[in-house]
């Protein structure tokens, strides 16, 4: 068989994410965490620090670069004030991502891209390690300062250990893009394990998929539940940002639903919710995700769709819903878009759609009916 040409090999590589190219799957990811003793408890600790770090991220970034610029080699590498400003903005995003509480495949791909960028611009491993050490010091100092201010010193050690483990986890990934020999060793080891476990993996993957589906579905409506919503939203946001495509969510609440529960009982209320679920499933595209966010709140994730496309989809949804006996319950809809140029976190996007939904609800309180805001 004729071997692939270099061009074909390049195309095959660019069809895959960095994690796929380096054969970093869920099992490898879990193994790396175990090697560092990075546990679910550490993830919870990091996520609990999110608001504290968000408040102090500018302070941390400023202290970090103040220390970095004391080194002449680093100062020359940065070069000018505009580059420093861009680096500070990137560092700010990086620090906030450390405390999102999600350290999965999408997180890994971002860290591997950081490694490629640092390698491309000529940052040596010794400078990268020293920078990680300095970042740890800056974050530790801020955590210690806040804990002292709040008289909460008893948990300070656990917080700093969790930060250290995560930074070491990141360093593992970054160094994978620096040292090709380590990548080769990982590939060989993974190949041996995969040959041994192939027959078991298929069964495990199928059962895991079935269990995951059950854990992310709402039993009443058949839609995704809130957990399933955020899992898919985070993934689709990453895909949209990677490919510079728009993504829009519909976030809506039912007007008059509480009155139905109070006067006609929860059985009738559940029937109305089922009607919403049926209408969503009947009108969304194959690539969309219909979700029951909680109670009488629903969401639809629409990849590669603009606000204008989504407004039309809302009209189709309302028409399908009105074919049922809805007992006068109507929708207050908020439509929020990100991309193709500017993106934000999943929490920020949901908050934006929620705010727009409440604007629509204000109109519904004045005059009953379906309303949408975008």
In the set 26, 296, 315, 354, the catalytic residue is: 296
Helices (H), the chain: 6-14, 18-21, 26-36, 40-48, 50-68, 72-78, 81-98, 105-120, 125-149, 156-178, 180-215, 226-243, 257-264, 266-283, 307-321, 346-366
**Nearest to 23, CA basis, from 190, 176, 199:** 190
**Nearest to 130, CA basis, from 56, 71, 57:** 71
Peptide bond between residue 340 and the one before it cis (omega within 30 degrees of 0): yes
Domain locations in the chain? 6-178, 226-373
Phi/psi zone of residue 197: left (φ > 0), alpha (ψ -120 to 50 degrees), beta?
alpha
Cα–Cα distances (Å) from 259 to 237, 268, 329, 363, in that order, read: 36, 11, 9, 18
Angle formed by the axes of helices 156-178 and 105-120, nearest 10°: 60
Instruction: Give the mean pLDDT of the chain.
Output: 85
Separation CA 74–CA 266 (nearest Å): 65
Lowest-confidence segment of 32-41, 146-155, 352-361, 365-374 by average pLDDT: 146-155
Which pLDDT tens digit goes with each residue over 277-331?
999 999 999 999 999 998 899 999 999 999 888 888 999 999 999 998 888 899 9
30: Cβ–Cβ under 8 A, 6 or more apart, which residues? Answer: none
Instruction: Return the ∠ at Cα 344 (arms to 22 and 371), rounded to 5°.
Output: 130
Residue that the structure tokens 């010794």 belong to:
126
pLDDT of residue 185: 47
Whether residue 13 has pLDDT greater than 60 = no
* Fold classified for 6-178: Globin-like (1.10.490)
Tokens in use for 133? 């050490």
Return the higher-pLDDT residue of 265 and 210: 265
Does the active-site annotation cover 286?
no
Average pLDDT over residues 349-366: 93
Q: How confident is the model at residue 148 (pLDDT cuts 50, 70, 90)?
A: confident
Find out whether 287 and 303 touch, Cβ atoms under 8 Å. yes
Average pLDDT over residues 65-75: 88
pLDDT of residue 212: 63
Long-range contacts of 283-288 (CB under 8 A, 24+ apart): 283/313, 283/316, 283/317, 283/320, 284/313, 284/317
Q: How confident is the model at residue 12 (pLDDT cuts 50, 70, 90)?
A: low
**Which percentage of the chain shows pLDDT scores above 70?**
88
Q: How confident is the model at residue 20 (pLDDT cuts 50, 70, 90)?
A: confident
CATH number for the domain formed by residue range(s) 226-373: 3.30.70.270
3-state secondary structure of 341: coil
Within 10 A of 273 (CB to CB), how many other CB atoms are there?
23
**Nearest to 266, CA basis, from 292, 295, 293:** 295
Return the higher-pLDDT residue of 9 and 146: 146
Whether residue 11 has pLDDT greater than 90 = no
Separation CA 190–CA 199 (nearest Å): 15
Find out whether 316 and 290 touch, Cβ atoms under 8 Å. no
Q: How confident is the model at residue 71 (pLDDT cuts 50, 70, 90)?
A: confident
pLDDT of residue 186: 52
Tokens in use for 90? 């990137």
């Amino acid at each position: 068989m004729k071997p692939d040409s270099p061009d074909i090999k390049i195309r095959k590589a660019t069809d895959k994410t960095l994690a796929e190219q380096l054969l970093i799957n869920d099992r490898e990811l879990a193994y790396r965490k175990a090697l560092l003793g990075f546990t679910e408890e550490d993830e919870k600790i990091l996520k609990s620090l999110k608001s504290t770090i968000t408040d102090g991220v500018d302070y941390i970034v400023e202290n970090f670069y103040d220390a970095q610029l004391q080194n002449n080699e680093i100062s020359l590498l940065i070069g000018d004030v505009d580059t420093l400003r861009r680096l500070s903005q990137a560092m700010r995003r990086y620090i906030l991502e450390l405390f999102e509480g999600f350290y999965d495949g999408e997180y890994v791909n971002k860290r591997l891209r950081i490694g490629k960028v640092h390698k491309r611009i000529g940052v040596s491993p010794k400078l990268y390690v020293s920078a990680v050490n300095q970042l740890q010091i800056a974050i530790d100092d801020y955590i210690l300062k806040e804990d002292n201010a709040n008289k909460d010193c008893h948990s300070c050690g656990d917080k700093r250990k969790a930060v250290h483990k995560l930074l070491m986890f990141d360093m593992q990934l970054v160094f994978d893009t620096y040292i090709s020999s380590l990548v080769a060793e990982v590939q060989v080891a993974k190949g041996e394990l995969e040959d041994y476990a192939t027959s078991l993996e298929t069964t495990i993957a199928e059962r895991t998929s079935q269990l995951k589906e059950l854990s992310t579905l709402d039993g009443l409506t058949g839609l995704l539940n809130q957990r399933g919503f955020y899992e898919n939203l985070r993934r689709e946001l990453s895909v949209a940002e990677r490919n510079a495509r728009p993504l829009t969510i519909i976030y809506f609440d039912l007007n008059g639903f509480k009155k139905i529960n109070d006067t006609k009982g929860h059985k009738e209320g559940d029937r109305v919710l089922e009607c919403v679920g049926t209408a969503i499933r009947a009108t969304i595209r194959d690539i969309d995700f219909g979700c029951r966010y909680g109670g009488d709140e629903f969401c639809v994730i629409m990849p590669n769709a603009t606000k204008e496309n989504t407004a039309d989809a809302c009209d189709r949804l309302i028409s399908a819903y009105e074919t049922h006996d809805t007992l006068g319950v109507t929708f207050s809809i908020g439509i929020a878009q990100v991309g193709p140029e500017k993106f934000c976190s999943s929490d920020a996007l949901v908050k934006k759609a929620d705010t727009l939904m409440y604007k629509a609800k204000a109109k519904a309180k004045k005059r009953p009916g379906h309303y949408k805001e975008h």
